[in-house]
Amino acid sequence: MDPSQSFEDQLGALLPRLRRFAHTLSRDSADADDLTQATVERALRSKAQWQPGTRLDSWAYRIMRNLWIDTARSRSRKARIEATPEEAELIGEDPRTAMDAALDLKRMMAAMERLPDEQREVVALILVEGFGYREVCEMLDLPMGTVSSRLVRGRNRLLAMVGEQ
């Protein structure tokens, strides 16, 4: 990130990563893009609260995570409880037939969807977004022990769902 860039430009440069994070949290791409857009708006409106010199990415990720909790959580929990047999089948399909990573996205989103929220956000931030444990503790305001035990449970559950390759 180039600190000489304007706030808006830096935020714009983060958009692809924010969209990726939104996809790890959301049920489908349409919801993910709604979440991304709401995050960008909230970030622009809260610009005064961001302290220059601190990491804009962690700040924007936190906004997205909080919005997701506010708006999407109840909906996605309901959806997970009502997961259809077709969805369960989709997750269990042989991954070797899905050579294309883009096709695999649907399966991975369905698998992430079935993780409890508190495991899903930790798995997403560490395994997909590449944040360090300590950064995630700060972002989510959680102690290290909680983050690492959620990560253990989340990734074991994911492995059980998507199987070995």
Which residues in this chain contact other proteins in the complex, by CB under 8 A? 15-17, 19-20, 23-24, 32-34, 36-38, 40-42, 44-45, 48, 71, 95, 101-102, 104-105, 107-109, 126-128, 132-133, 145, 148-149, 151-152, 155, 158-159, 162, 164-165
- Least distance from other proteins to the Cβ atom of residue 86, Å: 19
- Least distance from other proteins to the Cβ atom of residue 52, Å: 17
Question: Are 35 and 64 within 8 A, CB to CB?
Answer: yes
- How many Cα atoms are found within 13 Å in the side-chain-facing hemisphere of 30? 0
Rg of the chain over Cα atoms, rounded to whole angstroms, equals 16
- Least distance from other proteins to the Cβ atom of residue 117, Å: 17
* Minimum CB distance to other proteins smaller for 16 or for 52: 16
- Least distance from other proteins to the Cβ atom of residue 32, Å: 8
* Helices marked H in the chain: 7-25, 29-45, 56-67, 73-81, 85-92, 101-113, 117-123, 133-140, 144-162
- Quote the distance between the C-alpha of residue 151 and its chain's center: 13
* Minimum CB distance to other proteins smaller for 20 or for 114: 20
